[in-house]
Amino acid sequence: MNLRPITLCVPVALMAVLTTLACAAQTKSSGSEPVPPLLRPKPPVVEPTMPPAHPFHDGRYGITFTVPAAWELNRKDAEVSTFNLDARSVARTTQLRAVASISFNPHPNSTFSGALFYFSVTPHLTPAECSSQATIQAPRTASTAQIGGIPFTHGYDEHGGICTESRDEIYTTAHNNSCYRFDAVINTFCGGDVSGVQDISPRELDSVRKRMQKILDSVHFDTN
């Protein structure tokens, strides 16, 4: 009887067992266990540069703004957004002219889920009706903001279930017998602790708002 194959396998099997025991002992002595992949922090984001920043111009309503790098622009609703759900105070006759949406997540370890910048126009609204669109949120107070050298009424709307899932900064102005409106919407989701990420921090929210503000700062009205 030839026992050579069995004799050669014993040291190999014994070494594997000893290695497994040693690793288990080391893990136990260190007091730590491997972190599941879903709970491991994501690496820092390297911001994409494509598509490059480019201007959007609406010739019909005479307005231009810059779409930032790595943002997508669409002229129709439902391709990347649900306009009437995000901008809840728009009128039935409001026309969506363009929506820019961020195409990456700058805060992957947070509950951030998206940012959208809407430009819309409602024809034939009075200045009072136009201004009231920005004051949907109680106590319905508003401030004034200068955009493209024109004063806008600034208000906000927010909604959600167990947390604030959407915040919409609303800017409206009566211009050329129409109501011009911008909506800067930031969306988040609830249950960060369950999904292994942290609730978005005030600093992270502020950084997203600054991205929106750069778009507003780029707005230019055509001169007649």
Residue 195 confidence (pLDDT): 66
- Alpha carbon of 53 to those of 66, 71, 102, 218: distances in Å? 7, 8, 12, 12
Cα distance between residue 125 and residue 153, in whole Å: 14
Measured distance CA(185)–CA(166) in Å, rounded: 7
Please list the pLDDT of the chain residue by residue as tens digits (224 residues). Answer: 444 444 444 444 444 444 554 545 454 445 556 655 555 566 666 788 899 999 999 999 999 999 999 999 999 877 667 898 899 999 999 999 999 999 999 999 999 999 999 999 999 999 999 999 998 766 667 899 999 999 999 999 988 777 888 999 999 999 999 999 999 999 999 876 666 788 899 999 999 999 999 999 999 999 86
Query: Which among 84, 48, 41, 90 is positioned nearest to 69, based on CA atoms?
Result: 48
What's the Cα-to-Cα distance from 81 to each of 119, 139, 198, 201, rounded to whole Å? 13, 28, 25, 24
Q: Where are the beta strands (DSSP E) in 89-148?
A: 95-102, 112-123, 143-147
What are the C-alpha distances in Å from 200 to residues 38, 126, 162, 163, 164?
18, 38, 15, 11, 11
CATH fold of 54-221 reads Jelly Rolls (2.60.120)
Domain residue limits, the chain = 4-37, 54-221
* CB hemisphere CA count around 107 (13 angstroms): 23
pLDDT, position 44: 61
Query: Under a CB-based contact definition with an 8 Å cutoff, are residues 85 and 165 in contact?
Result: no
Local structure of residue 212 (DSSP, 8 states):
H
CA 27 vs CA 19, 23, 37, 194: distances in Å: 12, 6, 17, 25
SS3 93: coil
Does an H or E element contain 21, and which? helix 4-30
Q: What is the Cα–Cα distance from 81 to 116, expressed in whole angstroms?
A: 8
pLDDT score, position 196: 76
3-state helix, strand, coil in the chain (%, to 5): 30, 35, 40
User: In this structure, what DSSP letter does residue 110 have?
Assistant: B
What's the pLDDT score for residue 8? 40
Give which of 167, 161, 77, 165 is closest to 119, Cα–Cα.
77
Q: What is the pTM of this model?
A: 0.77
Q: How many C-alpha atoms does 141 have within 13 Å on its Cβ side?
A: 2
